[in-house]
Amino acid sequence: MPRLAVGGLWHETNTFALSPTRLEDFQVLEGEAITQTLAGTRTPIGGFLDAARHLELDVAPTLFASALPAGMVAREAYETLAGRLIDLVRRVQPHALLLDLHGAMVADRIDDVEGDLLRRMRQALGGLPIGCVLDLHANTSADFVERIDLIAGYDTYPHVDPYDRGIEVAHLLARLLAGEIRPVRRYAQPPLLIAAAAQATDRPPMADLMRRAHQAEALPGVLTVTVAAGFPYADVPFAGLSVVATADGDADLASTVARDLAAAAWAARGQFRAHSMPPDEAVARALALLEGGGSGPVVLVDAADNVGGGAPGDGTVLLEALLRAGARGAVVALRDPDVVALARRVGEGAELHSEVGGKTDDRHGAPVTIRGRVVRLARADFTYTGSYMTGKRVPAGWAALLDLDGIALVVRERRVMPFDQEELRVLGIDPQEAAILVVKSAIAWRAAYGDIARAAIEVDTPGVCTNNLRSLPYRRLRRPVAPLDEDVPYAADAAAG
Ligand SMILES: [Zn+2]
């Protein structure tokens, strides 16, 4: 029975965020802990494991390390985890390897972590067949694409297909192992950065690109196509949208597909827009919408403080605007471990007076003075039960629910991505009953609240995940690039390498 090693290294690195990502920020699963934690979940590794069983491959779990999106990964953390992963893979002597990678990990002085990891793996493991799943926000490089055999990137944002991509790449890898296919990849990258809020795959222009990618996948000889929308909050030369087309032995076919998709993305560059309004205007609009009837919360989208994009999650600008407007029934969550500790000292039912949020840096609003009552104190850990990574456990730590004159403020010990209603239900909050709900997320919140939202309003808040890419201090990014520069030249015909 062929032996399949399974592992991965997962981080989306926001190089503009100040909080570094250290070794202790990673959840490190080794050996059987991988299967114990991820078997049966709708994650890429959940997909690898189910496919391996179906394909009668013997699974050798190695190391899977993942951390919440945040600032630059400490060099030592990367060196330690990469060294350990490669060591464990070598030790199990596999016939093939499947990796769950994000694709936008950056470490101190290593712009292209995934490319570096594959270079090291090739040195240690030679020509072992290697496949991976990538996030839709991967910033893929030509180096990385050259060194890996198979890539299946998520097709969805909100991300609801990580498991399916795991299944897909596992089946392709099995065919490669059996000598049935000979994958050749071609890579194309137009000079194009896209703000996260403009990357939703269920609306144009990403929906059109994904449809084209799926049409290309149906062509005889094409094995798989990845359109990675890219992560614009990583200041690396190759950040932005990229295309990887994989064909069976036919480099020209792969090249044509990659080039056509890159050209289509480039042609649509003017349509990748995010519309947002100032905070006070957004709150007034939300209150007006509530007057108009309907059900479910009006969602205020705080994309600049996107926890899933590496922002601190303690931005206060919308909380302040809601307090100013006296927006009763609003629900806001932010991270502030000091206030959680204070709430635990005074206890449930007690009054609390403090400054909350805005403590990580000065780019997400100032700390806000609050006076309120501690309604609930609880461990906020939960399991994803919706469409995102279903079955995976989230170690959320302690949280306090505060009542600020009718505004419900959830203060968290740790950052939590609002991708599943359980994040609030675990604290006794029914999101359906909220009048206004603030989400620190660009698009992925829709996996949790898209179906119940009365309306959604994108708000122009400040922060390291801003929709306004021109305001970010890029230094390492290739230039010129759209939309930062004017009259950017691009000849898609010459582009697929
Ligand atoms: Zn993503």
**What is the Å distance from ligand 1's center to 159 Cα?**
7
Nearest partner of 224 among 158, 145, 157, judged by Cα = 145
Q: Mean pLDDT across the chain, nearest whole number?
A: 97
Distance 292 CA to ligand 1 centre (A): 34
Task: Report whether pLDDT(432) > 60.
Answer: yes
Distance 496 CA to ligand 1 centre (A): 24
Q: Print burial letters for 447-465: b (CB count within 10 Å at least 16), e (below 16).
A: bbbbebbbebbbbbbbbbb
Question: In the structure encoding, which two tokens stand for residue 446, read together?
Answer: 């829709």
CA distance 121 to 147: 9
496 confidence band (pLDDT: 50, 70, 90):
low
Report how far ligand 1's centroid is from the alpha carbon of 288 (Å).
33
Per-residue model confidence (pLDDT) at position 275: 87
Average pLDDT over residues 451-466: 97
Cα of 249 from ligand 1 centre, angstroms: 30
Q: Is the pLDDT of residue 493 over 80?
A: no
Going by the DSSP 8-state scheme, the letter that residue 343 receives in this structure is H
The two three-digit tokens of residue 170, written as one number: 């596992």
Output the CA 383–ligand 1 centroid distance in Å.
19
Whole-Å CA distances, 111 to 189, 214, 227, 310: 17, 30, 20, 16
pLDDT at 71: 98
Q: Are strands 330-335 and 298-301 parallel, antiparallel or unpaired?
A: unpaired
Neighbours of ion ligand 1 (CB under 5 A): 135, 137
Cα 359 to Cα 301, 364, 473, distances in angstroms: 21, 9, 21
The CA 336 to ligand 1 mean position distance, Å, reads: 24
Cα–Cα distance measured from residue 150 to residue 172, given in angstroms and rounded to the nearest whole number: 8
In angstroms, what is the span from residue 106 Cα to ligand 1's centroid? 15
8 Å CB contact between 399 and 412: yes
Taking the CA atoms of residue 123, residue 125, residue 129 and residue 133 in that order, the dihedral angle to the nearest 10 degrees is -80
Give me ligand 1 centre to Cα 157, in Å. 7
DSSP three-state, residue 63: strand
Would you say the C-alpha torsion 262, 140, 16, 331 has a positive or negative sign?
Answer: positive
pLDDT band at 135 (very low <50, low <70, confident <90, very high): very high
Report CA(103)–ligand 1 centroid distance (Å).
9
Q: 250 CA to middle of ligand 1, Å? A: 30
Distance of CA 136 from the midpoint of ligand 1 (Å):
5
Report which DSSP code applies to 16. T
| Domain segments of the chain as ranges | 3-271, 279-466
Q: What is the DSSP string of 365-392?
A: ---EEEEEEEEEEEE--EE--SSSSTT-
Instruction: State yes or no: pLDDT of 497 exceeds 90.
Output: no
**361: buried, middle or exposed (CB in 10 Å: 19+, 13-18, 0-12)?**
middle
Q: How confident is the model at residue 274 (pLDDT cuts 50, 70, 90)?
A: confident
Report the chain's C-alpha Rg in angstroms. 23
**Can the peptide bond before residue 94 be classed as cis, meaning omega within 30 degrees of 0?**
no
Per-residue pLDDT, 120 = 98
Dist. CA 476 → ligand 1 center (Å): 22
228 CA distance to ligand 1 centroid (A)?
A: 10
Yes or no: say if 150 and 166 are a contact pair by the CB < 8 Å rule: no
Tokens of 100: 């769950």
Please give the model's pTM, rounded to 2 decimal places.
0.95
How is 239-292 classified by DSSP, letter by letter?
A: -S-EEEEEEES-HHHHHHHHHHHHHHHHHTGGG-----B-HHHHHHHHHHHHHT
Span from the CA of 135 to the centroid of ligand 1 (angstroms): 5
- Residue 186 tokens read as 């071609």
pLDDT of residue 293: 85
Contacts for 382-385: CB closer than 8 Å, 24+ residues apart = 382/420, 382/422, 382/423, 382/425, 382/426, 383/422, 384/41, 384/419, 384/420, 384/422, 385/420, 385/421, 385/422
In what side-by-side order are the strands of the sheet with 222-228?
183-188, 242-248, 222-228
Q: Give me ligand 1 centre to Cα 152, in Å.
A: 14
- Map tokens 């730590």 to a residue: 397
> What separation in Å is there between the alpha carbon of 119 and the centre of ligand 1?
24
Whether residue 475 is predicted with pLDDT greater than 60 in this model: the reply is: yes
| Sole residue written with tokens 């995940």 | 465
- Tokens representing residue 339 in the block: 């206030």
pLDDT digits (tens, 9 = 90+) for 219-261: 999 999 999 999 999 999 999 999 999 999 999 999 999 999 9
pLDDT at residue 495 above 80?
no
Picking from 174, 141, 131, 128, the residue whose alpha carbon sits closest to that of residue 8 is: 131
Gap from CA of 90 to ligand 1 centroid (Å)? 29
* Distance of CA 28 from the midpoint of ligand 1 (Å): 20
- Condensed to tens digits (0 to 9), the pLDDT of residues 436-448 reads 999 999 999 999 9
Expressed in angstroms and rounded, the spacing between residue 232 Cα and the centre of ligand 1 is 11
Tell me how far the alpha carbon of residue 306 lies from the centroid of ligand 1, in angstroms: 11
How many whole angstroms from 456 Cα to the centroid of ligand 1? Answer: 20
> How far, in Å, from the CA of 183 to the mean position of ligand 1?
25
